[in-house]
Each structure stands twice: as structure tokens, then as C-alpha cells.
Amino acid sequence: MHQSRKEQGLERISRKLLHADRHEAIRLSQLEEDMEAAEEWAGFPSAAGKRSNLKDA
């Protein structure tokens, strides 16, 4: 069964948007990892360490 041009256009647009969101999520994850590494290198406690310290208080 064939798709109409409208359906094809909507599918193509949704694929492009989902692809962009996926790339953004990957970049944010990488940025978060880089920030944690920079904090550790600078001698600051990591975000995970901060969270565990809050639970203990």
C-alpha cells in the first residue's frame, strides 16, 4: 500500500526531528561527562558525591 505525499512528508519531518533530538541528547550526555571530569581534575567533588552526601545529612 502506498503512502500519500502528505503522509510521506509528515513521516520525513518526524524522522528529522527525532534524529535531531537524539543528537542533542547525546551531546548533553557528553557535556555532562566532560563537566564531571573537569570537576574531578580541579579537585571538586563529583555530582554523584554531592548527592550521596545530601542523603547522609
Q: What does the pLDDT read at residue 2?
A: 79
pLDDT tens figures, 5-55: 988 888 888 888 888 888 888 899 999 998 888 888 888 765 555 555 555
Q: How many domains, in total, are found in the chain? A: 1
In angstroms, what is the C-alpha Rg of the chain? Answer: 21
Determine the structural domain holding residue 18 and report its residue range: 5-56
pLDDT over 60 (residue 57): no
Note the pTM of the prediction, 2 decimals.
0.47
Amino acid identity of residue 49, one-letter, is G
Question: Phi then psi for 45, rounded to 5 degrees?
Answer: -70, 150
